[in-house]
Amino acid sequence: MEKLTLIKVGGKIVEEQEALSRLLASFAAIPGRKVLVHGGGRSATAMAARLGIESRMVGGRRITDRPMLEVVTMVYGGLVNKNIVAGLQALGVNALGMTGADMNILLSDKRPVQEVDYGYVGDVRRVDGAALSGLIEMGVVPVIAPLTHDGKGSMLNTNADTMAGETAKALASRYDVSLVYCFEKRGVLRDENDDNSVIAQMTRSQFEDYRAQGIVQGGMIPKLENAFDAIRHGVREVVITRADAIGKEHEGTRIVE
C-alpha cells in the first residue's frame, strides 16, 4: 500500500507564527500522501476573552456552551485553519481546510452528561475514509480542524488527538499510515523537567506502569490511549515528537504493541 503520513499538531505551534512557519515547512517537505489535523485551544481562549466570554475547563477539557461553540467554530474552522491553509499554499501544497461537517467526513455523538456536562462536545462515531481518500487521490492535502457535527445541524467541539487517531484508523485499510503527534517536547519524558529523558519506545504495559507511577499524566494519557488504539486498528506507526523532528527516524517516542 502507498504510504500516508498524518500529522497532528497543536499547542503553541499553531499559534506562534515562527513555530508554525517551521512546522509548515517540515510538513510540506514530507513526501507522498499526507493529512494535517490541528488544534488551537489557546487561540480560542484568547478570542473568548476578547469577546467577554468565560472559558471554563474541567480536568484540562473545555466546557463548550453555546457561546463557546460559536467561538471555537470561528477560531478553529476559520482563523487557525485558514492561516494554516494559506501558509501551505505558499509552500506549493494544495491544501483544503475542513471541519468534520464538510463532506460529512467526521460524524459525532454529543457527549452525554455524566459527572460533568461538557456541552457541545462530540465523541467521534464515524470517519468517512472513502471520502477522504478520494480527496487525497486527487492530490488534495486535507487540513482538518477539531470540529465535528452531529448530523442534526449542530457543530461539536472535538478533541484533536482523538480526531487524528480516528482519521488514521479510517485510512489504515487504504494506506500504510504513519501517525505523528507533534507538540513542544521531544517525546514522552520520564522527567517533565528534563528534555533529554525521552522514552524512546513504549508498549501498552509500560504505559500502564508509567501511568501508575505518575510519570505519564494529564493530557498525555488520552494522547497515548489514542495512539495505542490506532496501532491496534491497523495504523503501522505512531510517533510522539517535537514538530521540528518530523521525518527524523530516531526522534521522539514510538508506540508499539
83 is known to lie in a ligand binding site? no
H/E stretch holding 245? none
Contact 142, 135 (CB under 8 A): yes
Contact 68, 48 (CB under 8 A): yes
Q: Which residues pair with 198 in a beta bridge?
A: 189
Distance CA 68, CA 54 (A): 8
**In the 8-state DSSP scheme, what is residue 186?**
S
Distance CA 142, CA 136 (A): 7
Contact 167, 37 (CB under 8 A): yes
Give the side-chain half-sphere CA count within 13 A for 65: 8
Residues 6+ apart with CB under 8 A from 237: 177, 178, 179, 254
40 is known to lie in a ligand binding site? yes
Joined grid coordinates for residue 131:
471520502
Annotated binding site for substrate: 40-41, 62, 157
Pick out the residues of the known binding site: 40-41, 62, 157
